Amino acid sequence: MNMLFGPTLHLAYLCSGRLETWRWRRGVLAAGPVFEPTRAGIDALADHMVALGRPPVHLLADLVEEDFHRLLLPHARGRAGRNLLARRLQQHYRETPYRRAAMQGRQPEHEGGGRRDDIVLMSALTNPATVQQWTEALTLVQAPVAGIWSAALLYEGVPQALGFTQPHILLVTWQSCGMRQSYFRDGQLKFSRLAPAQAECAAETARTRQFLVSAHLLERDDMLHAIIVTHDDAIAPLSEQCISSTETTFHFVPLAIALERCGADAGGAEATMLADTVLLHVLARTLPRSHYPCGADARYFRLWQARVSLYASALVVAACALVWTGLNLWAYADANVSAATLAEETRHFTARYRSAMAPVGPTAAPTADMRAAVLVDRLLADQGPAPLDMLSQLSGALDRAPQVQLVALNWQVEPPGGGAPAKSTAARGQPSLPAAAGDAASTGSVPSSLLGIPVKPRQSLRVEAEVRLPRPDAKGAVDSMNAFARDLARLPRMRVAIEQPVLDIRPDVKLSGRATAEAAPPVPFTLRLELAP
């Protein structure tokens, strides 16, 4: 998360009313100006933030007016649980907006009679004016307030970082505002208090233990491990007055080692005897979510986050555009190389063609005309009209109908646009050419649409035939004609129309015939066959 704020963080340490400014950069802390809680000090802070360019400020509060309260709530989930927690928090800390509630697990069954209520630690800064006078000054100059953190809550991960995992730990540190004692049970903060810096450590530890026992946070026979973090020069006198007993064990940790275990450089902290820098390093390294809500004071921080997001998005878009441009340039260069290669191959093959054609000499027809002639020949072979398909299909149908005898054929070719058809007209039994072909002999030209250019034309065949039966039978003649027509209609792409039936049943025509045993005369009929392209 540190990457969101860049390599430099601006920290504000609020203790004893005054505000200390620090700058953290790549693990190194640098002290800045200190501002007193006066009108002149508040104005000086505003001017200082304007001079820095209004960077985000991370406010660390180490105040006496911080209260901790542990309570048990009925276990509830979802919106009901959240509403119950918010209502109890509002009831307990009504006068301050800087309040929070943290769930710390559930109560053991043997303690709650099987109910297993939720354990909640509520904390608040009970004197909001101490914080608001500084946040209002920052908001006045539009300096983003990134969050408000509690010194006691920041210490929650320090005992484990120092190598202590006992169930009952009392962490003792000396801050600018006094001696802070924080009690941890199973790694969770339960209580924290500030005592005067001149107070005796052993006596305050005994007093704190007595309070923990009375608050049922610590049993009388439980061992309390007191971890004292201080400067090397203060360890010897403290070890003389803080003597371990059957109830309390004292552990002394040099401040330099604590800084090193928390991921900070100890070299910059050797000149101080206070643990302020430990808190500042922990805040800068971990940067957890703000402990207390900032409310309206966080609006400029949200605007700053939006601006950073827009900058990041613009950088991503610019990077993508650069990559895309690079790919396009590479593709352009590759296309130029390919074009040059193709041009060289074209020149090479052109030279070879000219050298091969040089001994042949000039031809009677240009190459383009020869290519067009070959194309026309292929079109005529593939799409040119010919009666062979229709005649072969008609021949098969005649073989299947021996009572039908062929009399005459008339083959026609119709252009695709629906123009006048080209037809053959000849005497019965004599072959003939289509009329268009006859015209071609005289005019020297044939329409390309009749030759299958560009599409195959429609063809039709007029079939004149007759039905020959051994004896007169009108119904048999009709059935023979219909069966012959249906047989042709079943062929693919073939359409059959009866132009002249064997029996003329028009109202104005007289029907006549004789029922004799003599041989029946042939009964003529005419069919029109059309073959779709």
Mean pLDDT of 58-65: 94
297, HSE (Cβ side, Cα atoms, 13 Å): 25
Candidates 193, 170, 154; CA nearest to 66 is 193
pLDDT value of residue 308: 92
Radius of gyration of the CA atoms of the chain, in A:
54
Q: What is the pLDDT of residue 272?
A: 61
* DSSP three-state, residue 276: helix
Contact 307, 44 (CB under 8 A): no
Per-residue pLDDT at 372 exceeds 70: yes
pLDDT in tens, 127-170: 999 999 999 999 999 999 999 999 999 999 899 999 999 999 99
Give pLDDT tens digits for 475-518.
888 888 889 889 888 888 888 888 888 876 666 656 666 655 56
Distance of CA 271 to the CA centre of its chain: 53
**pLDDT digits over 281-321, tens only?**
999 999 999 999 998 888 999 999 999 999 999 999 999 99
pLDDT score at 431: 43
Determine the average pLDDT of the residues in 375-400.
84
Does pLDDT of 335 surpass 50?
yes
DSSP-assigned states of every residue in 424-474 = B---TT----BHHHHHHHHHS---GGGGTSSSPPEEEEEEEEEE--SS--H
Among residues 26, 20, 17, which one has the least CA distance to residue 284? 26
- Mean pLDDT in the chain? 85
Q: Give me the pLDDT at residue 150, please.
A: 95
Find the range with the poorest average confidence among 197-211, 222-236, 335-349, 366-380.
366-380
Residue 278's identity, in one-letter code, is V
Q: What is the mean predicted confidence (pLDDT) over 23-42? A: 92
- What is the per-residue DSSP string for 68-130? EEEEEE----HHHHHHHHHHHHHHHS-S-S-EEEEEEEE--HHHHTT--PEEEEEEEES-HHH
Cα atoms in the 13 Å half-sphere on the side-chain side of 256: 10
Q: From CA 237, how far away is CA 423, in angstroms rounded? A: 132
pLDDT band at 17 (very low <50, low <70, confident <90, very high): confident
Under 8 Å between Cβ of 461 and 409 = yes
Confidence of residue 412 (pLDDT cuts 50, 70, 90): confident
The confidence score (pLDDT) of residue 75 equals 86
How large is the average pLDDT for residues 318-346? 95
pLDDT at position 124 over 90: yes
Is the Cα torsion angle 138, 285, 153, 267 positive or negative in sign?
Answer: negative
| Residues contacting residue 236 through CB under 8 Å, at least 6 positions apart | none
pLDDT at 417: 64
Angle at 529 between CA 524 and CA 533, to 5 degrees: 170
Judge whether 272 and 266 are in contact, CB under 8 Å: no
Q: Is residue 226 scored above 50 in pLDDT?
A: yes
